[in-house]
Amino acid sequence: MTELVGKHVVVSGGGSGVGAEIARQFASAGAKVTIVGRRESPLAGIAGQTGALPLMCDVTDRASVDKALLKAREINGPVAVCVANAGAAASKPFKRMTADDLAAMMAVNVTGVFNLWQASLHDMSENNWGRMLAIASTAGLKGYEYVSGYCAAKHAVIGLTRSLSLELAKTGITVNSICPGFIETPMLQLSIENIVGETGMSREQAANALKAGNPMKRFIQVDEVAAAALWLAGEQTASITGQALSISGGEV
């Protein structure tokens, strides 16, 4: 994908899991990569592996995002591709949820996407080219029990994707979301441990319960999600916009 050589790619939540793999694949394609996140040590580790620029940033805070991108532009130039990957999931029955629980899910999963996309828009508009991507979830395409706040947030990301893609359809900027099923990451392991603690299942039983909704009966791998992001950032996908690409083994 030579068209990405020298282009500035910003990835939020770039210190671990999917974000780290996205940074690796874009760096391998020759892009100038900036990774942002709230934890300095993981960012430094991925930067050491990929040559990416690591910057501390809280995507829920617009001033923090603007400050990080200002520094990123000084070093890597205008933003061409932004991947809003930072996110969080919390599990709780709806009857026990509070307004603060819902606000927390919306802040990182929706406002975080909004902030990064809007802060990157000027650069893309100036160059009449850009790729806005969000790592959403199958939870943006269907409901799941006990994560109604997370599902609501991811559905909002899909709505934002579809609406913004129409606003930008004639500008050379595409807007898409990637919707993986359960991805094999440290966050997934925490979910498995939570199920074990709540139900008394074994780790294997808990893992199988999460795999059950995937017709392939396996977890999604980080490299599969990163490869989709790399593809959507290319020239050959210029007509693909406003989409929610499911990577779920046929679940949705």
Residues recognised as catalytic: 150
Measured CA to CA, the distance from residue 247 to residue 252 in angstroms comes to 8
As a whole number of angstroms, the distance between CA 23 and CA 4 comes to 13
